Amino acid sequence: MKLAVLGTGVAGRTLATKLVEVGHEVVMGSRDAANPRAAEWAAAHGDRAASATFTDAARSADIVVNATAGAASLAALQSAGGGALAGKVLIDVANPLDFSHGMPPSLTVCNTDSLGEQIQRAFPKTRVVKTLNTVNADVMVDPGRVPGAHVIFVSGNEAEAKRVVVDLLGAFGWPRERVVDLGGIETARGTESYLLLWVPLMQRLGGPHFNVELAR
Ligand SMILES: NC(=O)c1ccc[n+]([C@@H]2O[C@H](COP(=O)([O-])OP(=O)(O)OC[C@H]3O[C@@H](n4cnc5c(N)ncnc54)[C@H](OP(=O)(O)O)[C@@H]3O)[C@@H](O)[C@H]2O)c1
């Protein structure tokens, strides 16, 4: 498949690398076609890797990954353009974190709304699935890095879009029984708000390689 990974940070580069490793064609998108991090990533990952603007990357892809800074995701996706995103599955891994007042961070949207919902509302023809935002990038693409039957969540309005995403998660190493479908995109409120716990946990544990396991 052809995927666009919008985002040149750690999450974007880690996801893009894994997607190439499991056999997909990936265009990394950023604001600037000459973005050095994207160009360097593309040069290092062979024929199936390329870089482009947000718009050109999204336009070229069957599936789009939003790995941009949460506070800027709507702007980044607007610059990709509704036309380029229409009809496509958009995997949203972004968290609307605001570190401008120091630690702990706050959320730019929460309680009665979420970034996942804002994206779905802004792009009604796009099939938004929120997932992977509750783990560090290394764990996203290598769940075996953390021991135990820890889980990953998906939120989205469309069953078929979630099925496509669950298959991709399987290729990353997430067995189906450890993917928890929370329901519609409004359930992204919970996974995004979990970051208010995730960040202090990361500080307390001294590193980001952990995840939650469900017991009942
Ligand atoms: N890092 C992780 O382990 C991790 C784990 C879970 C979730 N996430 C989420 O994944 C997302 C990416 O995280 P990250 O740490 O990889 O990188 P980041 O620094 O949060 O985001 C980098 C990306 O955001 C874009 N961006 C920043 N400001 C922008 C603006 N004003 N307009 C348009 N685009 C803008 C940048 O564009 P340019 O390329 O053009 O500079 C870049 O591609 C975040 O939402 C984060 O919460 C990250």
Distance 69 CA to ligand 1 centre (A): 3
Nearest CA to ligand 1 atom 48: 11
The confidence score (pLDDT) of residue 163 equals 98
Distance 68 CA to ligand 1 centre (A): 3
Beta strands in 54-211 (DSSP E): 63-66, 89-92, 97-98, 106-107, 127-131, 152-156, 179-183
Distance 121 CA to ligand 1 centre (A): 21
The confidence score (pLDDT) of residue 95 equals 98
Q: pLDDT for 143-198, tens place per residue?
A: 999 999 999 999 999 999 999 999 999 999 999 999 999 999 999 999 999 999 99
Task: Among 41, 68, 109, 198, say which to mutate for ligand 1: greatest number of ligand atoms within 8 Å of CB.
Answer: 68
Distance 216 CA to ligand 1 centre (A): 35
The confidence score (pLDDT) of residue 25 equals 98
Distance 147 CA to ligand 1 centre (A): 27
Low-confidence ranges of the chain (pLDDT < 50): none
Q: Which of 29, 109, 108, 118 is nearest to 76 (CA)?
A: 29
Ligand 1 atom at minimal distance to the Cα of residue 136:
3
Q: How far apart are CA 210 and CA 204, in angstroms?
A: 11
Q: Residue 109 carries which DSSP code? A: S
